[in-house]
Amino acid sequence: MPLISCIENILKIPDKAQNLEFEYKELYKTTEDGKKIIYKEQNNRMCWKSAQNSLPIGSKLLSIILYSDATNCDTLVRQTFHRCLEVILNPIQKFSHSGTNLLINNKLIWTFPKVSIIIADWPEAATFCLTYKSTNSNHPCHFCLVNRDDLANTTRSKHDLVLKNHENMRTCLDKSEDKSVYIESIPNYFWNFK
């Protein structure tokens, strides 16, 4: 698999392999109120701990970070973008269920690759999420369905927000509500990930 070979080649670089983190590490800061958890790196976050605990004993989490800088995309380009993501990420999805052995520092390590972070500015995030990019739309946020008039409302609870997660957006697509929630009716490859 080309992507897995690419990952193995990157991990042959001594600095990369030496600084690779596989384990959850809890960091604390002592305050007047007691201990406070510090989130300094990916592997300090609770989502890392949760993902690590879901893996088979003896295996390691291999965090994959995607970076995108693909400015303006129309619908046709977005379709192509998501087809390319499918080709590139298919091995990660395949191995996210069974894992794969990677040679790291001359040791075979059973890893489960997971896409953990996508780094993108607003236009690229909209392309990943298949949301409209217009800041003039009624729901300009690509994370949730907050109304444009409520964007600065600091009294709203996070429980009041309807997230633009794959379950909610799939439901909107199934109900042909894609235009009302400002998503494009294109299959999103990330919906294949669990």
pLDDT tens readout for residues 24-41: 888 888 888 888 888 788
Domain positions in the chain:
1-121, 130-194
Confidence of residue 112 (pLDDT cuts 50, 70, 90): very high
Give 110's pLDDT tier (boundaries 50, 70, 90): very high
Q: What is the pLDDT of residue 18?
A: 78
Helix (H) / strand (E) element for 65: namely strand 60-67
- C-beta atoms surrounding 114 within 10 Å: 20
Residue with tokens 């299959």: 187
Question: Buried b vs exposed e over 157-188: b needs ≥16 C-beta within 10 Å?
Answer: eeeeeeebeeeebeebbeeeebeebbbbebeb
What confidence score (pLDDT) does residue 57 get?
A: 93
C-alpha to C-alpha distance for 66 and 71, rounded to whole angstroms: 15
> Does 16 score more than 70 pLDDT?
yes
The H or E element spanning position 112 is strand 107-119
User: Using one digit for the tens of pLDDT, what is the confidence trace for 156-176?
Assistant: 887 888 887 878 888 888 888
* Residue 70, pLDDT above cutoff 70: no
pLDDT band at 80 (very low <50, low <70, confident <90, very high): confident
Angstrom distance (rounded) from CA 193 to CA 35? 35
Q: Which has more confidence, 10 or 191?
A: 10
How distant, in Å, are the alpha carbons of 4, 103, 150 from that of 8? Answer: 6, 7, 46
What pLDDT band is residue 67 in, cutting at 50, 70 and 90? confident
Mean pLDDT value of segment 124-141? 72
Model confidence at 76, in pLDDT bands (50, 70, 90)? Answer: low
pLDDT of residue 53: 93
Between 58 and 38, the more confident residue is 58
Question: Cα separation of 28 and 185, whole Å?
Answer: 44
Higher-pLDDT residue of 19, 101: 101
